[in-house]
Amino acid sequence: MRSKANSKRVLVVACGALAHEIRAICEMSGLDHLDLHCLPAILHNRPDRIAPAVDDCLRERAGAYDSAFVAYADCGTGGALAEVCARHGVEMIRGPHCYAFFDGQERFAARDETTAFYVTDFLARQFDAFVTRPLGLDRHPELRDMYFGNYETLVLLAQTDDPDLTARARAAAERLGLKFERRWTGYGELTPILSAL
């Protein structure tokens, strides 16, 4: 049941990689006026498909909500997603990607870590499905250096305190021949962003 204070329905079009986190934030913050619609996280492997998918979703649901919000950052779309949001008159998360808003936009930019390969809880959980198999590393491990030769560290930006996910991320770092670092971020800027809707 929606409270009178939150009677307006808000559509949140989100990356599937954020589904768990958004649901957790909504539950703990009582954001029951937000209706979550997630697009497949695998779109990140083809970022040119993100903006058209968001555009389709917003068009299909136009008029069914009081407002909408896009829970994506740019995510490799080269500004195409911002153009879609502008056409629909909806806001989106500012910044380049989820690593930045989980870590904090200013803190992430200040680090300027060009040799870090970032992993969130989602990617630690789904590493084989989103990295190993799509890149062919399971069939051709010799490709590892071509893809990851310029990286030095796999950095887990941890949203939860889950020893299993930490172990998975550490194992991924070992398979890639990278050092491992875990940083606790929690939900970062995602909580205030959603709470403001």
- CB neighbour class for 23 (10 Å; exposed up to 12, middle 13-18, buried from 19): middle
Q: Is residue 173 part of a domain?
A: yes
Residue 123: band (very low, low, confident or very high) from pLDDT cuts 50, 70, 90: very high
Average pLDDT, the chain: 95
Map tokens 């194992």 to a residue.
Answer: 171
Could you tell me if 160 and 118 lie in one domain? yes
Q: Is residue 191 part of a domain?
A: no
Could you tell me if 86 and 103 lie in one domain? no
Q: Is residue 195 part of a domain?
A: no
How many other β-carbons are positioned within 10 Å of the β-carbon of residue 39?
A: 21
CA distances 154 to 3, 10, 27, 104, Å, are 43, 36, 31, 18
Could you tell me if 8 and 87 lie in one domain? yes
Amino acid (1-letter code) at residue 51? A
3-state secondary structure of 54: helix
Q: How many domains does the chain have?
A: 2
Whole-angstrom Cα distance, residue 9 to residue 30?
13
Q: Is residue 174 part of a domain?
A: yes
Could you tell me if 89 and 106 lie in one domain? no
- Domain stops at, among 75, 93, 111: 93
- Whether the pLDDT of residue 114 is over 70: the answer is yes
Could you tell me if 115 and 60 lie in one domain? no
Could you tell me if 137 and 108 lie in one domain? yes
Could you tell me if 45 and 119 lie in one domain? no
Could you tell me if 76 and 116 lie in one domain? no
Q: What mean pLDDT comes out for the span 73-77?
A: 96
Whole-angstrom Cα distance, residue 80 to residue 41?
17
DSSP 162: -
Could you tell me if 144 and 78 lie in one domain? no
Map tokens 């990617």 to a residue.
Answer: 123
Could you tell me if 12 and 52 lie in one domain? yes
- Domain stops at, among 36, 71, 93: 93
Q: Model pTM? A: 0.90
pLDDT at position 112, please?
87
Domain enclosing residue 118, as ranges = 99-184
pLDDT tens string 170-180: 999 999 999 99
How many other β-carbons are positioned within 10 Å of the β-carbon of residue 15?
A: 25
| H or E element in which residue 195 lies | helix 190-195
CATH number at residue 123: 3.40.50
- Domain stops at, among 78, 93, 108: 93
Residue 7: band (very low, low, confident or very high) from pLDDT cuts 50, 70, 90: low
Could you tell me if 73 and 145 lie in one domain? no
Q: What mean pLDDT comes out for the span 12-23?
A: 97
Q: Is residue 189 part of a domain?
A: no
- Whether the pLDDT of residue 4 is over 60: the answer is no
CB 46 within 8 A of CB 75: no
- Whether the pLDDT of residue 62 is over 80: the answer is yes
